[in-house]
Each structure stands twice: as structure tokens, then as C-alpha cells.
Structure 1
Amino acid sequence: MTDLPPILDVEASGFGRHSYPIEVGYVLADGSSYCSLIRPLPHWTHWDPAAERVHRIRREQLQQHGREVQDVARTLNDSLRGQTVFSDGWAHDYPWLAALFEEADLVPSFRLESLRGLLSEAQASQWQATREAVLREHKLERHRASADARLLQTTLRRLRQTVA
């Protein structure tokens, strides 16, 4: 599995300017993974019930089980240092990670890039169908950050095996 890049996913309180990261997870090239809930800061108040229906994380869970933003940012830096990490939702994940690192008063030690840049046109055209097939086959029902990152990495592997 070492030919696969590290994949990162972020779950958030909603979409838009006032949303913030509530969970971050990744899967590395060797298949090892990390996932953590993030305890919202006092001024992070936006909460979108529609987003909660998707990720199924309640704000109370974050208060109870979330880690401090500094702890999560430090863990990401320690684990991902010097790597390029990929996301399928770069336009959303990048600002959420930026908010996390800004609040932690840290600079990311890794780069976040769009997963789309790894795909040929043929692979991109087959992405959604392949992702849905992988989802069905592996019965992945939990829409959470590390599970989503693993789904993305598995989809990429399948596309590389089947589509030029």
C-alpha cells in the first residue's frame, strides 16, 4: 500500500464563513490512521443541524471527548511533518485546517493538496462510481474523518488498479 499517498479529511460544524473543524482524521501510506474530535473554542458557536445529520457528531460529544486545538494541531504536525497530504474537499478542508492552526498559534509542517491532482481524466470520470462501489463493498456507514480518509485512499487504489 506504500504507493498510496496520505489522505486527510475534516468534519466541520457546517459550511461557510463561521464554520470550524470538529474532527480531523487521516490515513497514511502504510495504512495507519489517526482521528480526533476537536473541542470547540468558546467563540466557535456556529452549528448547522444539517451538517450534524451527515457526520452524526453532537456538539455535546465535542465538549466531552474533543481534544484541545493545540493538541490536535501538534499531533498533525508531528505525524505529517514534511509530507504532502491529500484531500478530496480541499476547498473546505484547507480553511478549516487553517482555522485550527491559527487558533493553536502554529504553522502546519505539511502541505495539503487536492486529491483531484492525482487523477487522470479517465480516473476522475470514474471517481464517484468507484467510490460508491467501494462504499457498498466495505459497508462503510460511519461518515467520520478517518473512515472517510480510508474510503478515499481505497477508492484511489481501486482506480489505479483499474483505470489508466
Structure 2
Amino acid sequence: MTAGHLPDEVRNDSDEPLNTVDALVQLSFLVQGVLTRVAAAHDLSLVQVRLLGILRDRRPGMLELARHLGLDKSSMTGLVTRAEKRGLVLRVPSPHDGRGVLVSLTPAGRELAEEGGAEIDRAIGELAQALTAGERAQLRALAAKLLAAAPAGEAGRPPVR
């Protein structure tokens, strides 16, 4: 996707450079648009895509998932229940806490997470084609620095383990 394909609300039609806030917010809209389109193509919500992404490399408990997604306990339970009914996740008893439950991907959930992840990688990769290799490296470094500076437990930022 090129700048010519951006929705009007994320275009900067003037010659003035965007300020930092506008640039980051508009970039966020662009990335959220990619995630939303991939989610819709697989009959998933954006939060379900985030859930599958989190579960690709870990088996967290419900509380950790809720913190990671910025959800309350009842919303988290509903989200996992819906994903479980679709055969994407399963709950297993925690080996360390008799009352705790861990959530993991089923084979179907893993396949969907990998497929959706590949689609997201391709779409974001297309966006990044406008940058040189050096600019992409700089963008990764700056994004990592901003993420590292964000408070632990913020929605989208994993809690400290």
C-alpha cells in the first residue's frame, strides 16, 4: 500500500511535515487498518487477532492475558470462551496453581495465527517498501525504544515476567 492508497483521515495533504503525535497516530491508524482487514478476512475481531498473536509463543494464564490485552476479567473470559467454541484455543489447568488456568492455541488456532501473521507481515512489509533498508532498521530501533519506555502492563505491552 502506498501513501496514495491511504484513507483521507491519515493523509497529510499540506507540505507541512507531521508533528510527532500526528505521525504516530496516523501510523497507528494505518497499522490498525491492516490488522482489521486481516481479522475481517478470517471472521475475527481485532482483539481475537491480538489474542492469537500473544498465544503464538506462550501459554499465559487468564490474568496475564487480561493485562496484556487491557481487558477486565469478565471480558477476558468471554473472549477465551468464544475462541474456544471456534476451536482456536483451549484452557488447561495450571501446573503451579490448582485454581489457575492456562490458555494455549489448538492446532487450528496455531494454523490461523500463522496464516494471519503471514498476511500481516506481507501487508506491513509492503508499507515498509517505501523505506530504504537503513530507514527500516532505524524505524525498528526507534519503535523498540518507544516500546521499552512504555509502562509495563499497558495494553499491548506485556507485563514484566
Return the TM-score normalized by structure 2. Answer: 0.29
Please say which structure displays the higher CA radius of gyration. Answer: 2
Question: Which structure has greater helix proportion?
Answer: 2
